[in-house]
Amino acid sequence: MRTITIWNEFRHEREDDEVAAIYPDGIHEALAELFRTGATGDQYEVQTATLDEPEHGLTEDVLDETDVLLWWGHEAHDEVADEIVDRVQERVLEGMGLLVLHSAHYSKIFKRLMGTTCSLQWREDGATERLWVVDPGHPITDGLGECIELPETEMYGEPFDVPEPDQLVFTSWFEGGEVFRSGCCYRRGSGRIFYFRPGHETYPIYENEEIQQVLQNAVEWASPREGAPRSFGERA
Ligand code: ZN
């Protein structure tokens, strides 16, 4: 059985009534519930970790067990210790999968792995978004139609300052006219990384069944595979 660790900053839910009404136990618990009880519920061991725990809940032991790490953060990226970022980066290079969700585009770990500012444009206006599948047949799109429509969301717009994705799975259209690369696949070392845009804290995005399907598909896609061993250095 594979192990998923869901990391959440867990500040908005404790500070803001509007967010607490949507995610009373935190975004990490809503996501954990999905993986415990959803279609893939018997396939994963699910654990959670949050910023204010010692070592942000990401001890060596926790990361050693983790096959795929999900990351949600927004207002406290700078409070994540560099030592923990180093640790997560090392694990990704060794093969751990990483799902980077919504405002985690500005997380230290995503910026480290991308090597760019990861900046973008945004507007919180509750307008409609359509996430168009631009790579039909990609495993992350299994079970979806040609697009996912979110009636109320925050806009993210291009330019999105990330390296060219290895595979672009979704392109978003927003009611205000902007577009955005909303589902981006990367490889770093042996690890697979998926950036997925939806998930603003004041909209119940993670209750959407198609978004849940994408998250489940993405965890499957990002899971470590058995491959040839990586060996480096001078050969005898
Ligand atoms: Zn947001």
106: CA distance to ligand 1 center in Å? 11
76: CA distance to ligand 1 center in Å? 13
151: CA distance to ligand 1 center in Å? 15
CB 208 within 8 Å of CB 150: yes
64: CA distance to ligand 1 center in Å? 30
Chain centroid, CA 192 distance in Å:
11
90: CA distance to ligand 1 center in Å? 27
154: CA distance to ligand 1 center in Å? 6
232: CA distance to ligand 1 center in Å? 41
Q: pTM score, two decimals? A: 0.97
The pLDDT assigned to 151 comes to: 97
The pLDDT assigned to 1 comes to: 86
86: CA distance to ligand 1 center in Å? 25
Structural domains of the chain, with CATH: 2-114+183-222 (3.40.50.880)
Torsion of CA 93, 10, 26, 119, to 10 degrees: -60
156: CA distance to ligand 1 center in Å? 9
102: CA distance to ligand 1 center in Å? 6
200: CA distance to ligand 1 center in Å? 4
65: CA distance to ligand 1 center in Å? 30
112: CA distance to ligand 1 center in Å? 20
The one-digit pLDDT tens for each residue of the chain (236 residues) are 899 999 999 999 999 999 999 999 999 999 999 999 876 667 899 999 999 999 999 999 999 999 999 999 999 999 999 999 999 999 999 999 999 999 999 999 999 999 999 999 999 999 999 999 999 999 999 999 999 999 999 999 999 999 999 999 999 999 999 999 999 999 999 999 999 999 999 999 999 999 999 999 999 999 998 888 888 999 98
The pLDDT assigned to 107 comes to: 98
63: CA distance to ligand 1 center in Å? 27
The pLDDT assigned to 41 comes to: 65
